[in-house]
Chains A and B, each alone.
Chain A
Amino acid sequence: MADVALLTTSDGRPLAQALVQAQARARRRAFFLVLPLLLFVIFSFILPIGQMLHRSVYNDGFSASAPELGAWFAQNPASTPPDEAAFAALAADLANMQANRLAGEAGTRINYVIPETRSLFTRTARDAKNLTPPYQAALLAVDPKWGDPALWQAMRAASSAYTLDFYLVSADFQRTADGSIERVDENRQIYIALFVKTFILSAIITVLCLLIAFPVAHLLATLPMAKANLLMILVLLPFWTSLLVRTTSWMALLQGEGVINDLLVWIGAIAEDGRLRMINNQTGTIIVMTHILLPFMILPLYSVMKVIPPSYARAARSLGATSWTTFRRIYLPQTLPGVAAGSLLVFILAVGYYITPALVGGADGQLISNLIDFHMDRSNWSMAAALSAMLLVGVLILYWLYDRLVGIDRLKLG
């Protein structure tokens, strides 16, 4: 308000200005204190993730080695069928690729969208410098596939380094000859199904962890100190053991000739020829991951249960509630922050888990991370990045849901 005189300090400076000056030094100090951490986070987290996201939409494997074709695509609108000039540009580019040994790379880029085209490129490029006009006829003579409109559509899309093709493929979509987008055939859909399977398996693992961890955490929170400490060591012991050792010991336990099957046969629960298949399939992935992720559920639950005073349960009992009602209406609601935190933690870890499914998952126990790894092994960085980005988005959506339903400020991780 205008009629309120500005407050000043005793030496006549405006108060707000004096305050800023007084605090500036402290603020500078605070900034320099966090600077190393800030740099660390930028270089070890923000930059790699940023680069991963960039890779998922950027691939110059084709565009860099096909400049002539790129120029032709730029001059002609999308619906133009390839004419002699286009084939001439293609032939020039193929010859150039062969000279610089780039045909494989360019073929790989197109191969993402149209399978089995990598060899088409390498094969054609090998003799490209011997092609003579008319190029259209010459190229079609080498392989009639060169006349495929879908291939031309794919090359047009790849002529720009920036593309959403990898996301399309990751979501089991493809470009048709006229440039529109459609689902791939049902028997070729792999990614979405694997995403769904990953989320379902993670949900099953989370629920199993919760069912096992809840009583354990309750016991930990209520036992006398000495016994609780012993139990806590038993809970943490797997934490201190190498992941590989734990997974391998599960292999020894679960395999066809393993300890559990031997025991079941010995007590006569199953027949010798009816040994259970508990490893190298989904069952193996579920059992081993549940065990490995269990501490991540127990610890948040324990930290929440530890601070629930026993007097609440006593109060409920004295007010006439049975022990079941007391559990359901008084105890359980108060453990919800721990349940939610543990579930979120286990689910997110499970969704991105790689090593255990790779070792014990067999063919049908693989998760999306194993497919990401598959693409990375073949240097298909853009494909791996697109899948990772989709996984990241899925996890962020879960996180958002958690915040809406429970509230992130109520998260207790131990």
Chain B
Amino acid sequence: MQKSYDGVSLVVKDLNLTIAKGEFLTMLGPSGSGKTTCLMMLAGFETATSGEIRLDGRPINQVPPHKRGIGMVFQNYALFPHMTVGENLSFPLEVRGMSKSDREAKIKRALDMVQMGNFISRRPAQLSGGQQQRIALARALVFDPALVLMDEPLGALDKQLREHMQFEIKHLHDSLGITVVYVTHDQGEALTMSDRVAVFNDGRIQQLAPPADLYERPDNSFVAGFIGENNKLLGTIEDLNGDKALVRLRTGELIDATAVNIKEKGQQTLVSIRPERVEFKPEMMPQGAHTIDAEVVEMIYMGDILRAVLRVAGVDDFVMKMRNTLGQTKLTPGQKIKVGWHPQDARALDP
């Protein structure tokens, strides 16, 4: 599928994606990456410039939004301000011509589902952000849609409430068996809630994988850099054997890495290593792994972890995270150490 707004450039360059029934799929990406546009095409508010969208095997490109039967939760909730909570929930049922008694039963069930049963006669302006969010959720679910789209629904909430609502949405998803397509730019949200995450950048899906794969085995340097914290070392491929690569860094050191999207020897590469996978104690390193010299630049105490900023191979923002355990070795700035890692954790990516 492709999408262009102005006929000159493509906002969505190449989207080819199948969502399974009952799946929780998150579209994650920086702003302007095309994820919201994709959601709007699914909902029917934007037309695809080329390509086809199918729902249950039925092409829906030409189906107007109100006939798609897709529930949607908006970033600013979009609760109708001139209606009470009950009227807001009743609206999708009324336009479907449902009888009054059926409507009341469904509204009650939907409100109970989000624990807002007592708020039926309030107006949206009388509710807090979190309560409005719950009502918006109930309204999107009250007409039993098979697919629910959520456009950064938790973006306006504070951190604590956001985490609580993440859990509730996930719980609702599990208990109702609905399919959810969720758009966010918050990677923590994407990792904790999703069955699969599609990382968007520049109008393309950079990687589509379950959260653990995405974090531990990023396919390219964008995903590695976008998700979680990440050390980057530039170098060239010295030797390539299957997925085992030997990388010579710019300063001359040799390290082991796993080749991901590397094709040939002599190629430029960017090696990505997660800070929590960096070790400095020889006994923790695998046999025969290469180690390199490092100098402690700064130690940051963060409570649960200790964060060491190191100078490694000419880079002086190389981060190592150490658990704050009893008897953890105390490093001091200026100290010279050797660091290493399991070759699986160092991923040689496109530069």
Contact = CB atoms under 8 A, between A and B. Distances in A.
A334 B81 contact: yes
Contact of A325 (B76, B79, B82, B95): B95
B66 A314 contact: no
A390 to B, nearest CB: 37
A334 B74 CA distance: 19
A321 interface: yes
A323 B67 CA distance: 11
Contact of B78 (A315, A321, A325, A333): A315
Interface residues of A, number: 18
A316 B80 contact: yes
Most buried by B among A319, A320, A323, A325: A319
A320 B72 contact: no
Interface residues of B, number: 28
Interface string A315-340: 11111111101000110011000000
A322 B72 CA distance: 16
Contacts of A318: 43-44, 65-66, 68, 70-72, 140, 149
Contacts of B96: 320
B45 interface: yes
A317 B66 contact: yes
Contacts of A329: 91
B66 A320 contact: yes
Contacts of B34: none
A309 B71 CA distance: 19
A321 B71 contact: no
Interface in A288-329: 309, 311-312, 314-323, 325, 329
A156 to B, nearest CB: 59
B108 to A, nearest CB: 18
- In this complex, the member of A309, A312, A315, A318 whose beta carbon has the largest number of chain B beta carbons within 10 angstroms is A318
A311 B95 contact: no
A324 to B, nearest CB: 10
Nearest to A319: B92
A321 B90 CA distance: 12
B80 A330 contact: yes
A222 to B, nearest CB: 14
A321 B72 contact: no
A320 B95 contact: yes
A320 B92 contact: yes
A314 B82 CA distance: 16
Q: Dominant SS at the B interface? A: loop
A227 B76 CA distance: 27
B74 A321 contact: no
Contacts of A315: 72, 74, 78-80
B69 interface: yes
B91 A311 contact: no
Contacts of B78: 309, 311-312, 314-315
A319 B45 CA distance: 13
Contacts of B91: 316, 319, 321, 329
Nearest to A308: B81
A312 B69 contact: no
A320 B69 contact: yes
B24 interface: no
B139 interface: yes
Given A319-B95, A321-B95, A312 B143 contact: no
A318 B44 CA distance: 8
Nearest to B75: A311
A334 B82 CA distance: 7
A334 to B, nearest CB: 6
A409 to B, nearest CB: 14
Contacts of B45: 314, 317
A244 to B, nearest CB: 43
B143 to A, nearest CB: 7
Contacts of A309: 76, 78
A321 B93 CA distance: 10
Given A333-B82, A334-B81, A319 B74 contact: no
B65 A317 contact: yes
A325 B43 CA distance: 18
B139 to A, nearest CB: 7
Contacts of B81: 334
Interface of A: 309, 311-312, 314-323, 325, 329-330, 333-334
Q: Which 10 A-B pairs have the closest CB atoms?
A: A319-B92, A315-B78, A318-B72, A311-B78, A317-B65, A321-B95, A333-B82, A320-B95, A311-B74, A320-B66
Interface of B: 43-45, 64-72, 74-76, 78-82, 91-92, 95-96, 139-140, 143, 149
28 contacts: A309-B76, A309-B78, A311-B76, A314-B72, A315-B74, A315-B80, A316-B91, A317-B44, A317-B45, A317-B64, A317-B65, A317-B66, A318-B72, A318-B149, A319-B72, A319-B92, A319-B140, A320-B67, A320-B95, A320-B96, A320-B143, A321-B91, A322-B66, A323-B66, A325-B95, A329-B91, A330-B80, A334-B81
Given A316-B91, A322-B66, 11 more contacts: A312-B80, A317-B44, A318-B65, A318-B66, A318-B149, A319-B72, A319-B139, A320-B66, A320-B69, A323-B66, A330-B80
